[in-house]
Amino acid sequence: MNKNKTYPSYLAFGTVAIYFVFLFLPGVLGIFYSFTDWNSFHPEVNFVGLSNYQRIIAPNQKYMDYISNTVIFTIATTLAKSALGILLALLLTHKLVLGKALHRMAIFTPLVMSYLVVGLVFKSLLHPATGFVNIALRSVRLDFLANNWLSDASLALGTVISVDTWKGVGYIMVVTIAGLKSISATYYEAAEIDGANYWQRFLHITLPLIWPVLLTITILNLTYGLRVFDIIYALTNGGPGHATDVINTAVFSAFSKGDYAMGTTLSTVLFVFVMAISYFLVKMMENKGEEL
């Protein structure tokens, strides 16, 4: 008997079985179905090779636009949430800021609101004629800034990204604050004695020590961004036209039309994206951890 083992391995059987049946098997089946013509109209399923994947890249289809929108959304929200989250975390751990708990709560609150509510509220706030945002802009003579925020194709994706950042930045802030709190004050005291300014302290103490936290929030942001659906469904339903359609709105649309094969094909593409990015980020985190 291996004395190093704390628990016998058969205790993991239950978890493995559940994981296999409910997670692994459906995932593999999903990939398998992407090579078939599975649909809601006919019970039999035929192997069609790569034709579903060919449909995705066909010039008369818009799927590549949806993939592009997904990537833009993911990169933009990841950068915006991370930058703003870190900035807010630094601000709200600074000794000169008063009412830190109140500020933190206010910034965190949007996270607990449902996407549907956020969608409805922002649709109302951003209405070009009757919305609060444009009315406020016009009232201070900034008419030129009043726009069709959700119905102008050139602005809609940016608007959705902004709303999503507003909703999600509180979480990044809270996680980063936890990371900042774990840094011992002695490092900063020593650096101050050595004459380091704020920026130098941030660059050489704060950033390296919260690096694992930053990588974790980046993985969370990236995997969320690639899988985004709710906020887009609630705010624009992919519109105007297809300006804000992403992979998951296309998956939803394919399933709703009974074209299950296309739904699973798009899901497989998404799965590969998420797996590849997560793998590299986790590897990066491990390497960085070893360096530290």
Choice between 147 and 223, CB closer to other proteins: 147
From residue 157 to residue 186, what is the string marking binding to other proteins with x (rule CB under 8 A)? ------------------------------
Residue (224 or 260) nearer to other proteins, CB: 260
Name the packing angle between helices 247-256 and 63-91 (round to 10°): 130
Contact residue for other proteins among 90, 103, 110, 128 (CB under 8 A)? 128
- Cβ proximity to other proteins: between 100 and 127 the closer is 127
What CA–CA distance (Å, rounded) separates 124 from 118? 10
Given the complex with other proteins, which of 8 and 99 has the nearer CB atom? 8
To other proteins, the closest distance from the beta carbon of 4 in angstroms equals 18
Q: Is 110 in the site for other proteins (CB under 8 A)?
A: no
* Site residue total, other proteins (CB under 8 A): 36
Q: Is 30 in the site for other proteins (CB under 8 A)?
A: no
Q: Which residues pair with 47 in a beta bridge?
A: 36
Distance separating alpha carbons of residues 237 and 243, to the nearest angstrom: 10
Question: Which of 80, 88, 107, 150: binder of other proteins (CB under 8 A)?
Answer: 150
The residue range among 76-84, 100-108, 145-153, 198-206 that interacts with other proteins, by the rule CB under 8 A, is 145-153
